[in-house]
Amino acid sequence: MRKLIAFVGLLGVIYALALQHGAFDRAAAPIASEAQAQADPHSTQHCDENTLASAYRSHASRVEVCGHGIIAKVLKDDTQGTRHQRFIVRLPSGQTVLIAYNFDLAPRIEGLRAGAPIEFAGEYEWNGQGGVVHWTHRDPGGHHPTGWIGYGGRQYQ
CATH number at residue 84: 2.40.50.140
Residue 119, in any domain of the structure: yes
- pLDDT for 48 equals 86
Residue 20, in any domain of the structure: no
Phi, psi of 64, rounded to the nearest 5 degrees: -75, 125
Q: Is the pLDDT of residue 27 over 70?
A: no
Residue 21, in any domain of the structure: no
- Of 40 and 49, the one with more pLDDT: 49
Residue 128, in any domain of the structure: yes
Q: Domain range holding 120?
A: 28-156
- pLDDT for 14 equals 65
- pLDDT for 81 equals 87
Domain count, the chain: 1
Statement: the pTM of the whole predicted model exceeds 0.75: no
Task: Tell me if 24 sits within 8 A of 152, measured CB to CB.
Answer: no
Centroid of chain to Cα 83: 16
Task: Tell me if 103 sits within 8 A of 85, measured CB to CB.
Answer: yes
Using alpha carbons, select from 65, 64, 147 the residue that is nearest to residue 105.
147
Residue 12, in any domain of the structure: no
Q: What is the DSSP string of 13-80?
A: HHHHHHHHTTTT-SS-EEPPPHHHHHH-TTSGGG--THHHHHHHHTT--SEEEEEEEEEEEEEEEE-S
Residue 19, in any domain of the structure: no
pLDDT in tens, 45-86: 468 888 999 999 999 999 999 999 999 999 999 988 889 999
